[in-house]
Amino acid sequence: MNFRNRLSLPAAFLFAALALTGCQQGTHPAAEAMTKSASPAVPQAVTAAASAPSGAAAAAVKSIHSPGVVATDEQLAAGQCSAKVVDAVTGEYLPDPACTPGAADPVVTQENIDSTICTSGYTATVRPPASDTNKVKAESLRQYGQVAVKTTEYDHLISLELGGTNSVSNLWPEPNKASATGTTNPKDAVENTLHKAVCTHRVTLSAAQKAIAHNWVTALTDLGL
C-alpha cells in the first residue's frame, strides 16, 4: 500500500494533491490436502508478529471460479511469504496477506447457498484431487519458507464450505501447534461455526468470507458469534 504524504500547501494545491493520491491494494499471493513429513516441529520460516490492528481494512477477496482444479492466479518467489504467529501454543497462525488474500467462487452466492455450500456433500464436488494439489503444495511450502511436516495442512483460507475457491491466492501451508499429532487445527472449528451461521442465515456469506480472510482468529468475535 502506498501511503499518502502530508504536505504544507495552499488549500487549492492540497486538494489537487489529495485528488491525485490514493492507496492501492494489490493482491499478490499464495486444496484442503495435507503435507506429510517426519517431524512435528514448527516450520522454520514462521515469523512472530502482532495481529492486525482492530478496525484495519480487510484485503479484497478475489473472485475465481476453479472447481476441481487449483488455479495458479499468483506467481510467488521462494521465501517471499511468511506466516504470522498469533499463538504458537494453541496453533494460531495467519497467512501472509500479500501472498494469500483469499478468494471465493463467484458461482456460490447468498441466493443459492441452500443448494450449494449448505447441501451435504458439496465440498466433494469442487475439491481438487491430491494429484493436482501435490503439484502446487510443494511450491507453496517453498514460497512460505517452510519445511513439510505431517501436522501442516495445505489449507483454503476461505474454506470450501464457505464458498472458497481452489486457487494459489486462497491456499497456504498452515502450521499447527507443536503438540498436534495430525492436521486438525483451531481454524477447523472456526470454519464449522461460520458455516453453520451462514446456513442458518445468522450472518451473510459475504460477511463470513471477508471475516475469515481478514483474520480467522478473530472472525467469530468480529461477527458477534
**Range 190-206 average pLDDT:** 98
Q: Which residues contact 132 (CB under 8 A, 6 or more apart)?
A: 31, 68, 69, 70
Is the predicted pLDDT of residue 38 greater than 70, yes or no? no
**Range 61-84 average pLDDT:** 95
pLDDT digits (tens, 9 = 90+) for 164-189: 999 999 999 999 998 999 999 999 99
Output the pLDDT for position 88: 92
**Range 14-18 average pLDDT:** 36
Output the pLDDT for position 197: 98
- The answer, as to whether pTM is greater than 0.85, is no
Spell 47-77 as b/e; 16+ CB within 10 A means b: eeeeebeeeeebbebbebebeeebbebbebe
Model confidence band, residue 96 (pLDDT cutoffs 50, 70, 90): very high
Q: What are phi and psi of 167, to 5 degrees?
A: -150, 155
Model confidence band, residue 72 (pLDDT cutoffs 50, 70, 90): very high
Residue 17 burial (C-beta neighbours within 10 Å; 0-12, 13-18, 19+) = middle
209: three-class secondary structure by DSSP: helix
To the nearest 5 percent, what fractions of the chain are helix, strand and coil?
30, 10, 55
Output the pLDDT for position 59: 54
Closest of 209, 187, 186, 185 to residue 197, by C-alpha? 209
Average pLDDT, the chain: 80
Share of the chain above pLDDT 70, in %: 73
